[in-house]
Structure formats: C-alpha cells, structure tokens
C-alpha cells in the first residue's frame, strides 16, 4: 500500500521527538541509560507516526513504552511518571468520554501496579499515598477535560462543515435559478420579436411561392433549368414556412388542454412511435423503460407531453452508438415526478450545455435548433423544469420534473 506522506507532517510533530531525546541525553546518570534513551526515542517516533498508525495503536504503544520507562527509572518513585499522561491525552483527543476514562484508569492502574515491586518491609508513608492518589486522579481528570475540549472542537467542526455544505447547495441552486432566469428572459424577448417578424415574412413568402408556381406553369417545356429553379424556389419557400410555423408555435402562448392521468401509458405510446420512426444508426438502438409501480398521476396536456418525450427520446437514440441503449426512467421525488431520458452516446460539450435550450442553437448539420427550445417551453408551461447532465464521449441525461396533479377538493358533508 502506497502512503501519501504529503501534508501529514508538521514541524510541531517533531518537537516531542526532540524533547524526549533531549531528556534522555541530559540524564546520563540513569542506571539503564541506553534502555531509557531507546524508550524515549521510541515514544517520540510513535508520536510522529500517529497520523499513520491511528489513535488506538498509538495509545497502546505509548502505554507499553511508558510502563517500561517508569520500570527502568525507579518504578513508583520514578520522575518519569508524568509520561503516562501522553496516552491519556491522545485518548482524550481521539476517543469518546468512555474510551478516555478507560485509558485513564488503565494508565493509573499501570502506575499503581509498581507498588507490587516494592521490597518486603518497605512502607509507603501517608503523604506519599496522598501523592500517589493525586497523580492517578490527575490523570483521570486531565483525560476527561481534554476529551471535553476535543469534543467541543469536533462539534464546532461539524457545524462549520454543515454550514459549508448548506452554502454549497444554496450556491448551486442559485446558479441554476440564474441560468433558468437568463433562459426565460431570452425566450420571452425572442417570443415578442418572433410574433411580429413571422407575420412580416409570411406575406413575401406567399408572393414568392405564387410567383414560382406561375413561372413553372408558363415556362417553355424545353426550359428544364427554369423549371428546376422554380421547383427549388417553391420547395425552399415551403421549408421556410415550416420553420416559421414551428417558430410561431414556440412563441405563441398555449392554452393547455390538461387532463389527470398516469405518465406511463404516454411513455409507452411515445416509445412505440419513436421505434417506428427512427432511421440510420438510431434504428439499431434499443429503448428501455423503467417505471416502478406507485408513481402518482400528473396533470398535463397529453399531445404536448408526447412531443416533449418524443423529441428527447429521438435525440437520445440519434446520439447513441449502434447497438446502444436509451433508458427512460421515472421516479417520484416529493411533490414531483421525474422522467429521465438517459443515453450513453456522444455527449454534449460543457460549453454548449447552457445554450442547448436556446432557439436556433444546434450542433446537427441538418438541424434547425427549435426542438429543445419548444420542449423547454412546454415543460415551463406545465410548471415543470428540465435539466441536462452530460459528459462528452460518455452520454447525456435529460431530467423532466413535473408537478403532481392537485388533490381533489373534499366536499363538505351535508
């Protein structure tokens, strides 16, 4: 297992190692000098490696090393007794109150066990007994107070983390709302422009078509070029009229023919229709539906909603690779029903994600760029929301969120 050493060590972490080494070096008169030096250096190493070993291993190693240190420095009379506070402090900063109390009691018991090493006939004077009890009690109190401060710091950290998470969620929602507002403003302005512009274009387009038809009827039979040009003019006028019609559909306010019904039968009809109409690479794409039971009914205009999902599913099939799968998945989230259309195809470039619902924006060579704009407007008219998530080269997910049908009003009992 490879250990990432970066960011694990601080200069302060090496202070205990240096301090313990200094204590050992400055006490050359100790009976077991070499052993004491090794134990103190080992304590410093355990302290430095604590971020890697974990608190439990660190506490266990410190207890063992401190016991050996006191044993080799006069036992119950050792001036190194305070080193037993090291595992107690570590427990207080990393364990709960119970764990800290257990480690404190173990440390106190280990120190008290050196009474057993007294020679026969040695008696502990009363003032020494008081000193012994004070040392053991201080270890317990220090552990509990350390735990209290550490727990308060952990609670404060959790509060900051929760506040940061809430702020991140709020920022995400704010960005989504701003994007939705910008899109709505663009669509509203474009809709106002369209109504007048379409009316002004229809008259000259009608004149052009009539002139082309008249030209085709009156041109000499042997003038194939003129007949072909007249045909081109007529077909392009029809194509332009179709674009104007679709643009007017986008701009014109709709009177929704709402009905309350489940969404699953509508999706079945749309999938069947798309399976009949898909061509080219899309013909080899499989469309799967995942609709769990218990999805509530919605209030929607069936004809317009069929258009929404037909457009999304057809786009997903066309973006998929031959043999790919498009998944249509429904779910119930709070007061909304979500219908997700998922493909694993080419994906959408991140720089285009905010523009795909704009009129006339398209990445298709033969596209007009009104399909998703109309889809977005229909969903907005239903009080819903449409979002898109995409990774270039991995696929795209469109999510349509629609509000549940209002509950029927209860009539008063007579």
Q: Each residue of 19-49: pLDDT tens digit? A: 666 665 666 555 566 787 788 788 888 888 8
CA dist list (Å): 266 to 35, 90, 274, 308, 371: 83, 63, 12, 11, 19
- Nearest Cα to Cα of residue 400 among 378, 370, 368, 367: 378
pLDDT in tens, 322-331: 889 999 999 9
In three-state secondary structure terms, 11 is helix
What size, in residues, is the chain?
414
Q: How confident is the model at residue 366, as a pLDDT?
A: 62
CA dist list (Å): 247 to 129, 272, 348, 360, 377: 96, 27, 24, 10, 12
Task: Identify the top-confidence range among 26-35, 179-188, 336-345.
Answer: 336-345
The better pLDDT of the pair 324, 203 is held by 324
Packing angle between helix 33-48 and helix 15-25, nearest 10 degrees?
Answer: 170
The bridge status of strand 298-300 relative to strand 385-391 is unpaired
What's the average model confidence in pLDDT over 172-196? 72
Give me the phi and psi of 261, to 5 degrees please: -160, 160
Q: How confident is the model at residue 5, as a pLDDT?
A: 45
**pLDDT of 413 above 50:** no
**pLDDT of 17 above 60:** no
Residue 386: count of CB within 10 angstroms of its CB:
21
Q: How confident is the model at residue 22, as a pLDDT?
A: 65
Domain positions in the chain are: 11-163, 176-251, 259-403
Q: How confident is the model at residue 305, as a pLDDT?
A: 93
The bridge status of strand 286-290 relative to strand 325-333 is parallel
In three-state secondary structure terms, 340 is strand
- Provide the sign of the torsion angle of the four alpha carbons 351, 309, 298, 290, taken in this order: negative
**pLDDT of 293 above 80:** yes
Whole-prediction pTM = 0.50
**pLDDT of 412 above 60:** no
The better pLDDT of the pair 249, 266 is held by 266
CATH number of this structure's domain 259-403, picked from the four choices 3.30.565.10, 1.10.10.60, 3.40.50.300, 3.40.640.10: 3.30.565.10
d(CA 33, CA 56): 29
What is 176-251's CATH number? Answer: 1.10.287
The better pLDDT of the pair 202, 340 is held by 340
d(CA 195, CA 248): 7
Q: How confident is the model at residue 313, as a pLDDT?
A: 94
61-75, 119-133, 155-169, 256-270: segment of lowest average pLDDT: 119-133
CA dist list (Å): 409 to 42, 393, 405, 406, 412: 77, 49, 12, 9, 10
Mean pLDDT computed over every residue of the chain: 81
Q: How confident is the model at residue 410, as a pLDDT?
A: 40
Cβ–Cβ < 8 Å for 243, 198: no
pLDDT band at 298 (very low <50, low <70, confident <90, very high): very high
pLDDT band at 316 (very low <50, low <70, confident <90, very high): very high
Q: How confident is the model at residue 243, as a pLDDT?
A: 73
**pLDDT of 11 above 90:** no
What's the average model confidence in pLDDT over 180-188? 70
What's the average model confidence in pLDDT over 79-102? 88
The better pLDDT of the pair 188, 158 is held by 158
- Provide the sign of the torsion angle of the four alpha carbons 181, 183, 185, 187, taken in this order: negative
What's the average model confidence in pLDDT over 294-310? 91
Q: How confident is the model at residue 317, as a pLDDT?
A: 92
């Amino acid at each position: 297992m490879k250990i990432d050493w970066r960011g694990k060590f601080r200069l302060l972490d090496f202070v205990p190692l240096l301090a313990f080494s200094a204590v050992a070096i400055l006490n050359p008169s100790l009976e077991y000098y070499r052993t004491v030096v090794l134990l103190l250096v080992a304590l410093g190493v355990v302290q430095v490696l604590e971020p890697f070993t974990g608190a439990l291993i660190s506490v266990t190693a410190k207890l063992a090393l401190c016991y050996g240190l006191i044993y080799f420095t006069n036992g119950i009379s050792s001036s190194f007794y305070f080193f037993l506070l090291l595992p107690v402090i570590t427990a207080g900063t990393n364990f709960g109150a119970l764990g800290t109390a257990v480690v404190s009691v173990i440390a106190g018991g280990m120190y008290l066990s050196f009474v057993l090493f007294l020679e026969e006939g040695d008696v502990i004077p009363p003032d020494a007994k008081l000193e012994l009890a004070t040392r053991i009690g201080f270890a317990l109190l220090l552990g509990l107070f350390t735990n209290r401060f550490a727990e308060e710091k952990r609670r404060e950290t959790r509060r900051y983390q929760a506040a940061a998470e809430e702020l991140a969620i709020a920022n995400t929602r704010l960005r989504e709302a701003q994007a939705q507002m910008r899109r709505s403003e663009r669509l509203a302005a474009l809709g106002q422009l369209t109504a007048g512009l379409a009316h002004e274009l229809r008259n000259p387009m009608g004149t052009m078509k009539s002139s082309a038809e008249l030209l085709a009827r009156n041109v000499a039979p042997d003038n194939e070029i003129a007949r072909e040009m007249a045909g081109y003019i007529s077909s392009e006028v029809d194509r332009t009229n179709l674009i104007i019609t679709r643009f007017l559909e986008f701009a014109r306010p709709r009177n929704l023919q709402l009905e309350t019904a489940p969404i699953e039968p509508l999706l079945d009809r749309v999938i069947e229709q798309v399976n009949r109409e898909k061509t080219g690479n899309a013909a080899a794409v499989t469309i799967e539906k995942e609709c769990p039971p218990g999805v509530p009914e919605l209030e929607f205009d069936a004809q317009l909603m069929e258009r929404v999902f037909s457009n999304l599913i057809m786009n997903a099939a066309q973006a998929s690779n031959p043999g790919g799968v498009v998944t249509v998945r429904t779910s119930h989230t709070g007061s909304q029903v979500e219908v997700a259309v998922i493909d694993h195809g080419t994906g959408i470039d991140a720089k285009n994600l905010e523009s795909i619902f704009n009129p006339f924006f398209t990445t298709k060579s033969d596209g007009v760029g009104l399909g998703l704009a109309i889809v977005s407007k229909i969903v907005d008219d239903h009080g819903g929301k449409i979002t898109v998530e995409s990774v270039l080269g991995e696929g795209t997910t469109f999510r349509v969120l629609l509000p549940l049908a209002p509950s029927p009003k209860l009539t008063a009992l007579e």
